[in-house]
Amino acid sequence: MTTRIIAKEMKRRLLLVSNSTLHGGGYLEHCQQQIKDFFGQGVKTILFVPYALSDRDGYAKTARDKFKSLGGGNTFRLLKSLYDNKVLSEINKRVLQDGVPYMGSSAGTNVATVSINTTNDMPIVYPPSFTAIGLVPFNINPHFLDTDPNSRHMGETREQRIIQYHEEPDTPSVLGLREGSMLLVEGNKATLLGTCKARLFIRGKPTTEFESGSDLSFLLTD
């Protein structure tokens, strides 16, 4: 599957959200205005892909009742179903070449990237590959959590796990999206939106923090 095309042909429009539900609010409530702005008034039909949960009818109803969303649930289940239904290449083509808008939250954001290697989800099923749709040339870690200095938990922090990922050769950059944050991609321009900062991990370099509103277009270059 080809995951990149030359810049002058890039028509992608992506809204990649860290989380579907934010504490204190309902399903997609925290990003409702961004969703409205993203799809605009002219969009009458949205294709919702409910593969991330086993109860697909119930999940579709939740999205339908809220009116707009793409993605969420378990990343491994979502990617496996995309492979099983042979739609990865078609989504890639429709988004990158035809300009069909793509929105994902949580798992839907994970599968929009290079691979799902940096997901937080358990591998409850096993897809043929961890290679994802490839709408952007980097990975995202939704629900990114900062290290709690007062915690007695002795397991790896989210940051440590991403750094371990970058111990492997030829691994792409990872954008840690905290809950309440999202990335808007329009062609070759990427902008951080939402209420939180994001943390960027680049192999071999110190981590960097970016404020909401930051231009992250440099992540879209090879």
Of 20, 69, 121, 173, catalytic: 121
| Whether 121 is catalytic | yes
Side-chain-side CA neighbours of 81 within 13 Å: the count stands at 18
Exposed/middle/buried for residue 105 (C-beta within 10 Å: 0-12, 13-18, 19+)? buried
Contact between 173 and 200 (Cβ < 8 Å): yes
Token pair, residue 176, equals: 């840690």
DSSP 109-126: HHTTSSBSTT--S--SS-
Please give the Cα distance from 25 to 11 (Å, whole number): 33
Please give the Cα distance from 120 to 76 (Å, whole number): 10
Contact between 5 and 95 (Cβ < 8 Å): no
Positive or negative torsion for Cα 50, 53, 56, 60: negative
Question: Cα separations (Å) of 89 from 50, 133, 136?
Answer: 18, 7, 14
| Whether 65 is catalytic | no
| Whether 143 is catalytic | yes
Of 69, 106, 115, 173, catalytic: 106
- Catalytically active residues are 106, 121, 143
